[in-house]
Structure 1
Amino acid sequence: MPSASHLPSAPRVRSVVDGLPAYVAGRSAQTALTAALASNESHFPPLPSVTSLMETETSRIHRYPDMASADLREAIAAHVGVSADEVAVGPGSSGVLQQILSAVCDPGHEVIFAWRSFEAYPILAAVAGAEPVRVPLLPDEQHDLDAMAAAVTDETRVVLLCSPNNPTGVPLDAERTEDFLSRVPSHALVVIDEAYVEFQDEAGAVDALELYRRYPNVCVLRTFSKAYGLAGLRVGYAIARAPLAEGLRRTAIPFGVNRMAQTAAAASLAAHDEMRARTAEVRAERTRMIAALRGAGWTVPESQANFVWLRCGDETREAILSALADADILARGYRDDGVRITLADRGTNDRVLAVLAERGRFGSQ
């Protein structure tokens, strides 16, 4: 047997993989007393009418699911008013986004997105061989759509717009978005990522589906992980022109959406009243939390998601996270940017407010 020094070298990962930052997931609760508010999961379990249908699938999980997710795609199509040919599904909206980037990007192409925005964007772009292009947010936490339009080049293949944005919670401005789309060339696909759209107040909101119908280079990305409470099942979808949607289905992992996820997602779309009651409760708590935090001296943007955002420097960020952790509350910190706190039930939210009640103890924001 050859010595270790004479063994042939082992295969190496691509250089771009060596340089990838690790995706940082929110920490999970370790005890029953811990409030896990670091990940944007739903505080609620799956919708009651969905749970019983999920149970029927447990006796069938030895069988492969429908690889085409035909029934789920038909349900989504009926829900949003498109044809099933315009629907592609995948393991969460992140999985669908990976399908999008795989379908339209060659090495050297560019993917533009606001920053800070969803942490997976630069990772997925780099894995696809594309160049991530970060465009800083405006001081009011809005996407800088003028700067994003100016950043588009002949090599740009995808522009990602997250609305409401993660982690800031700020939605796209309808008028600015319309103007932006009029300036983006047709070779660039504009993906409007609406992972939190169900929590958004309707007044003045960007109607991404209406924009999709008018702009051939717009694609809408959504998920069942947030408002529908199916984060553990991993199912999301895209609405895209039929040729692109077919490309997304071709780049998907075979059987990537399991049969329980397909059943639960389709049933969730039918549970209109349960969903409206749930999101209304989240919106009410969001309004209360933002008002209380502002009253305590914090600068909080008008979030339209299921979380609130505290923009702050690293010293204040660490002080906030430490104080929350001392109270058995987990929140999500972002280096150089701030802290995101997911909304929960009223009692848990009151625990957060109790910790943050005195703004002055945390130093300069």
Structure 2
Amino acid sequence: MTEALQTVNRYPDYHRTAARTAIANVVGVAPEWVAVDNGSGSLLHGLARLVIEPGTTAIYGWPSFEAYPASVALAGGSPSPVDLNAEGAMDLAALRDAMGDSTRLVVLCNPNNPTGGFIGIDDLRAFLSSVPDNVLVVLDEAYREFVTAEDVSESIALVHEFENVAIVRTMSKSYGLAGVRAGYVIAQERIALALRRSSVGFALNSVADAAIIAAFSPEGLQIAEERIQRIVAERERFLAALTAAGVSHLPTESNFVFIHGDAAELTKRFEAQGVMSRPFPHAGGVRITIGAPAENDAALAVFN
């Protein structure tokens, strides 16, 4: 990234070929199956624009990432949220029941943000088998690297099996590049190509391009894996402490924990400990992101 700064007087790679190839080599698909943009949010908006128009609908679990209803509304469609299941994951049966003739897009956040609920590969495969071919299913896997229930690569098989599936991942979480703004999509060539053709030219700057290439190098992957292991270990310690203290919370496969309670009150209690939490009043609690051990101890001190 530092080296890339020396040549910012030049335009970046318009086709993002090197970045797409770096991702493809690690994920195990052809570069033609990869689209890259400045953050997964941009890619979510791009995917919505491919299939949504006035008179069509998109369904997704709720509460979840705020970009889903925003992207659908901007594309001229109607957002249609569906309640999560009791463990804070996508309710696949309810989502299937909510689908109708006007449905063109289904978004599955897995693990779900802000609740951390996770759906395994077998249940996803069964759900996808029931979705009509004219409906695009987007798997938002922003937090996939933190999942321990199954290997991070498991879901890539779904892209090979289903032509109407697109996996969205981000460089913001496990790779620690939130400020750089970079994300990618894995989908069969028809979808990936349409996404690349409809994206804004040169939207991915040369520093972000270099960051992706470095992150998917052997050295970059090792750094990310070490970071993931530390975060997962801290997550398990945090969950165990909450359980021991009798604090109600949801199970999580992500790098955050959803704690039940009055959102405003919990937010104030965390602020008193110098901890920033994310309130979700409509979901009945707050989300705490797992940080360094000292930061996690400060959050846990709220319940001592």
- Normalized against structure 1, the TM-score is what? 0.80
Of residues 251, 256, 266, the one that matches 1:302 is: 251
C-alpha contact 1:86 1:239 (8 A) present in aligned 2: yes
- Residue aligned with 1:329, SS: coil
Task: Render the CA deviation track for 1:215-255: whole Å, top value 9, x for unaligned.
Answer: 11111110101110111111101111112111101221111
2:231 paired residue number = 282
Correspondence 1:273 to 2:219: no
Cα distance between partner residues in 1 of 2:174 and 2:153: 18
Cα distance between partner residues in 1 of 2:4 and 2:245: 48
Shift of 1:332: 0.4
What percent identity do the matched residue pairs reach? 38
User: Which residues in structure 2 correspond to 1:136-175 (within 5 Å)?
Assistant: 136-175=83-122
- Residue aligned with 2:126, SS: helix
User: Which residues in structure 2 correspond to 1:212-291 (within 5 Å)?
Assistant: 212-270=159-217, 271-291=220-240
Shift of 1:282: 0.3
C-alpha contact 1:171 1:205 (8 A) present in aligned 2: no
1:176 paired residue number = 123
Task: Render the CA deviation track for 1:284-316: whole Å, top value 9, x for unaligned.
Answer: 00000011011111122221111111133xxx2
C-alpha contact 2:141 2:169 (8 A) present in aligned 1: yes
Letter in 2 for 1:246: L
Cα distance between partner residues in 1 of 2:100 and 2:108: 17
1:130 paired residue number = 77
Cα distance between partner residues in 2 of 1:84 and 1:145: 31
Which has the larger Rg? 1
C-alpha contact 2:160 2:188 (8 A) present in aligned 1: no
Correspondence 1:75 to 2:22: yes
Cα distance between partner residues in 2 of 1:221 and 1:234: 14
Structure 1 residues not aligned, in runs of 5+: 1-53, 358-365
Task: Render the CA deviation track for 1:101-150: whole Å, top value 9, x for unaligned.
Answer: 11221222111100011111111111111111100011222211011011
Structure 2 residues not aligned, in runs of 5+: none
Task: Render the CA deviation track for 1:51-110: whole Å, top value 9, x for unaligned.
Answer: xxx111111122221111110011111111111111111111111111111122122211
2:264 paired residue number = 318
- Residue aligned with 2:71, SS: helix
Task: Flag the 1:205–1:256 CA change in 2: closer, same or farther, 3 A.
Answer: closer
Cα distance between partner residues in 1 of 2:181 and 2:152: 26
Shift of 1:206: 8.5
Cα distance between partner residues in 2 of 1:174 and 1:300: 24
Cα distance between partner residues in 2 of 1:202 and 1:331: 26
User: Which residues in structure 2 correspond to 1:21-170 (within 5 Å)?
Assistant: 54-170=1-117
Any runs of at least 4 consecutive aligned residues in structure 1 with deviations exceeding 6 A, and if so which? none
Aligned length: 301
C-alpha contact 1:172 1:206 (8 A) present in aligned 2: no
Cα distance between partner residues in 2 of 1:203 and 1:75: 23
- Normalized against structure 2, the TM-score is what? 0.95
C-alpha contact 1:223 1:235 (8 A) present in aligned 2: yes
Cα distance between partner residues in 1 of 2:287 and 2:123: 25
Moved more, 208-217 or 284-293: 208-217
Shift of 1:183: 1.0
- Residue aligned with 1:132, SS: strand
C-alpha contact 1:114 1:161 (8 A) present in aligned 2: yes
C-alpha contact 1:172 1:205 (8 A) present in aligned 2: no
Structural RMSD (CA)? 1.4
Cα distance between partner residues in 1 of 2:173 and 2:158: 23
1:198 paired residue number = 145
Cα distance between partner residues in 2 of 1:303 and 1:202: 10
Task: Flag the 1:204–1:149 CA change in 2: closer, same or farther, 3 A.
Answer: farther
